[in-house]
Amino acid sequence: MSDGCQHFNQIHTHAANTSGCEECTKMGDTWVHLRVCLTCGHTGCCDQSKNRHATKHFEATGHPIMRSKERGETWGWCYIDEEMFDPI
């Protein structure tokens, strides 16, 4: 993990709450890629998706750390520090 981000202590889970974007699933909508909040496990769609639910989750909750839920991707992102890291 990176030395610059001070939010790693807010990582409480690596598990996703759902297999798809929680809000898009409820709306019957689609997404491009999925992201998982490492504070609470919320699964949201990426910023390339029209609804941008992962970023909206950060804006609503302040949970700063997320990771990609895409197969073969191990990167994470801190919204506050705007810094990538490998959470594994």
Cα end-to-end span (Å), the chain: 8
d(CA 80, CA 50) in angstroms, rounded, equals 22
User: Which fold does the domain 8-85 belong to in CATH?
Assistant: Herpes Virus-1 (3.30.40)
Does the pTM exceed 0.85?
Answer: yes
Give the residue extent of every domain in the chain.
8-85
Q: What is the pLDDT of residues 25-54, one digit of tens each?
A: 999 999 999 999 999 999 999 999 999 999
Residue 66 β-bridge partners: 37, 77
Q: What percent of the chain has pLDDT over 70?
A: 94
